[in-house]
Amino acid sequence: MGPNEHWDIIVVGGGHAGLEAAWAASGLGARVLMITLRADRIGAMSCNPAIGGLAKGQIVREIDALGGLMGRATDAAGIQFRILNTSRGAAVHGPRAQADKHAYARTTQELIATRDIHILEAQVSGLDVTGNRCTGVRIRQSADTDETLLRSSAVVVTTGTFMSGLMHTGADRTPGGRVGEQSAAHLSSNLKAARLRARPTQDRDAAAVDSRVDRLFQPCAAAWR
C-alpha cells in the first residue's frame, strides 16, 4: 500500500457503520481501504453488547435484508434473542439480541477478511478536498510522523463517538473516543475548517455531520459509480 495508490472508497472507522460501509462497497466490487485507530478494535461494541432493541431492531433487519454484516455477526455471536415490547402492537415490537462482544468483534474481523477490504491503522487528520470534491484523506500513523495523503474516489466518514470525544467520569472530563482510545480532534477541526459542522451530541450518540456534507460527498460517489 503506497501513497500513490488510488482507492475506490476509503472508509474512516471500523465500528458498526464503517463495517457496513466497507462490506457494502466491497460487495459492489469496489477496492476498499478501511482506516481505523486500532485494528484490534474493529467491530468493538462500545458498552452494552446489544444489537437491535426498540426502534433499532427493524434497522438491523433492514441491514440484514440488504445483505449487511451485522445480522451474520449477531447470528454467530448472539447469546440471547428476544422480542421486546410484546405487550403492544406488532408495529412497535423490538427484536433484540445480546451478543458475546468479543465473539462479535472477532466475527466481524473474520468476515471482512474474506473481502477485498484493506485495513490501515492510522488517524485520519483531514479530508482532501479539491473544489467541491473529496479526493482522499490525510493520515498520521503516529504523533511524530508527517501527514500522508491517500487518494480515493469517495470517502465515508464513520467516526462514531470519537469526533472531539470527551469522556465524563464523575466530575472528571478527559478527551477520548472510548476508554483507552484517543479522540479524533484533528479531523473534527478539519471538518470545521471546511465549514462542515459536526453537531455536538451528548451521551452515547455518534456525532452527526451537518447536511451540507451531502454536497461534498455526492459527486464522489457518482464519480466512483
Ligand X SMILES: Cc1cc2nc3c(=O)[nH]c(=O)nc-3n(C[C@H](O)[C@H](O)[C@H](O)COP(=O)(O)OP(=O)(O)OC[C@H]3O[C@@H](n4cnc5c(N)ncnc54)[C@H](O)[C@@H]3O)c2cc1C
Query: Which listed residue (1, 2, 29, 47) binds ligand X by CB under 6 A?
Result: 47
- Can you tell me the distance from the alpha carbon of 108 to that of 127, in angstroms, rounded to the nearest whole number? 26
- Can you tell me the distance from the alpha carbon of 144 to that of 6, in angstroms, rounded to the nearest whole number? 25
Contacts of 223 (CB under 8 A, 6+ apart): 133, 153, 154
Q: Closest approach of Cβ 126 to ligand X, in Å?
A: 9
Among 20, 18, 28, residue whose Cα is nearest residue 69: 20
The region of 2-10, 32-40, 145-153, 212-220 touching ligand X under the rule CB under 6 A is 32-40
Q: Does 206 bind ligand X (CB under 6 A)?
A: yes
Q: Does 48 bind ligand X (CB under 6 A)?
A: yes
What is the phi/psi pair of residue 40, to 5°?
-70, -10
Query: Which listed residue (112, 127, 178, 220) binds ligand X by CB under 6 A?
Result: 178
Q: Does 155 bind ligand X (CB under 6 A)?
A: no
The count of residues interacting with ligand X (CB under 6 A) is 28
Query: Which listed residue (16, 96, 101, 138) binds ligand X by CB under 6 A?
Result: 16
Q: Closest approach of Cβ 47 to ligand X, in Å?
A: 3
Residue with Cβ nearer ligand X (175 or 225): 175
Contact 39, 32 (CB under 8 A): no
| Residue keyed to cell 460527498 | 217
Contact 124, 35 (CB under 8 A): yes
Binding stretches for ligand X (CB under 6 A): 12-18, 35-38, 46-48, 50, 123-124, 158-162, 177-178, 184, 187, 204, 206
